[in-house]
A and B are shown apart, each in its own frame.
Chain A
């Protein structure tokens, strides 16, 4: 029988009491900080998650079909249901805490559990982002004090700022931004923008037609095949013209490439990274805002008793996770136990609330703790 979470026994008796006590202790800590306890639904509309995360969510979330309601998914985490709950009935600013199971499909042969508990805290606030980031981090850090865990932090916004600072077309910028969470693809794009490959014969023919004008492109389309389906002729022509412009674009400069590499390689502590980014902003003024944000966060963390001069920072950290963390990210791990997942993780996800609400969305930051992993380590 698969264990519940990471505990060696199924839940009963002493283990169950220990887990319940730990969960209640963590929740009490969040509630003392002003969080309202919520219990959002576990069964979600699959469309929402598919729209947000794309097809990949099917490899992560359990899907079931209801003849009346349609496709449903078991929540792989609390983020979407809490945001939906807040959008429907919350007032701002808002702090929520929750405890309950999440369900995740795993790779065949994996010994990760497909069902485990999370205890989480979310903060929705249009005010001071740095203070909010520090608030979430400090709370979780305090809850995990004395457990000998190693922390890692990052900020996806730093890499985004570097992309925003590049001297390239908006098309290229948008392509890089879209793939920020896919490091391999991002790297390939950067290489292609730096040294473009020669176009294929067909592409060269298309570019030549685009050079002559939209009518020539239409003629090429007509010669190829009748237009079928929802993608209309005008869209094909528009892209052909955009490809023509892209072909004329100069390659990514060596300086820009170096700046991107430098920012992506930024590692150290929160304090040292903020300092270094400020130095880089002298040469690249577009980095100034990100540098100011990092500095503000360092100050806010210090104010909450978390020393930014010892907190590790890496600009690359957090990129390979689920999309939508677009700012501050953090994680607490047991370095002596690489077999265990992080004991806690979290970050800022403004882009997700924006995507869910369809417009600006409310700035949001939060984190979760895995109580079963904490117990499995022992010494609780």
Chain B
């Protein structure tokens, strides 16, 4: 049996179910209203596992599920070595979210990461502490800032309502997921012109670390065929 991990609720689950439907695979919630159970029809040998989207990367990494649907942002953030352990089977065309760097719109002197670097240096000299970037995505931000050569900053953790941290005085800039940009605009924030860290969307991932039998690989091949997705190479 192949285990397919799906987000346990919400728009992501609805859109995922619709996506699988195009390949003749029907995912049906079973049990009572609140029960996390379901079944997969239209293909033999696939079992549904309902999980929170944030936990799917870990389950894929551990090989406890063979496949899973989750955002690329969560995989890239939580699994720095994901290229070694996971395979992107298909980008699913929904759940689009860009991880971006944003600064106050009043900073009319800051358009690029280079501007931010200069401002950070001046900020530290002026205030005696490093400019703070509020974000949930520590690894991605650290990596991006390093690649861009921005050094004089600190990350402060923000698990939610990140757009409000600057006004509250707990950060000077933010790195957050945005889709329409409306929340940013409403909070007087502007995205840097080269501030796109990652353009993420919902993706069907496969785990190299799961137990892949010959039978399992056959089911995967069938699934890929139905979904019109290129089958991956699974090394022994």
Contact = CB atoms under 8 A, between A and B. Distances in A.
Interface stretch (B23-31, B38-46, B64-72, B106-114): B106-114
A178 B119 CA distance: 13
Contact of A227 (B104, B126, B146, B169): B104
A8 interface: no
B154 interface: yes
B166 A229 contact: yes
Chain A binding surface SS class: helix
A228 B111 contact: no
B151 A54 contact: yes
B81 A236 contact: no
A235 B84 contact: no
B41 to A, nearest CB: 38
Given A229-B166, A229-B172, A239-B122, A179 B149 contact: yes
B145 interface: yes
A231 B111 contact: no
B127 A54 contact: no
A242 to B, nearest CB: 9
B137 interface: no
Contact of A228 (B84, B106, B131, B154): B106
A236 B142 contact: no
A202 B104 contact: no
Interface size class of B (residues with CB under 8 A): 35 or more
Interface stretch (A116-124, A217-225, A337-345): A217-225
B106 A206 contact: no
B80 interface: yes
Nearest to B119: A239
Interface string B154-192: 110000000000110101100000000000000010000
Interface string A227-246: 11111010110011001000
Q: By CB atoms of chain A within 10 A, which of B108, B118, B119, B138 has the most? A: B108
B152 interface: yes
B167 A224 contact: no
Interface residues of A, number: 38
B188 A230 contact: no
Nearest to A50: B154
Interface string B72-105: 0000000011001000000000000000000011
A203 interface: yes
A127 interface: no
Interface string A170-200: 0000110011001011001000000000001
13 contacts: A50-B154, A58-B138, A108-B80, A182-B151, A188-B149, A206-B108, A221-B106, A224-B106, A226-B106, A230-B127, A239-B109, A239-B118, A239-B122
Given A50-B154, A51-B130, A225-B106, 16 more contacts: A54-B151, A58-B142, A59-B142, A175-B121, A200-B111, A202-B111, A206-B109, A221-B106, A226-B106, A227-B104, A229-B166, A230-B127, A231-B119, A235-B122, A236-B108, A239-B119
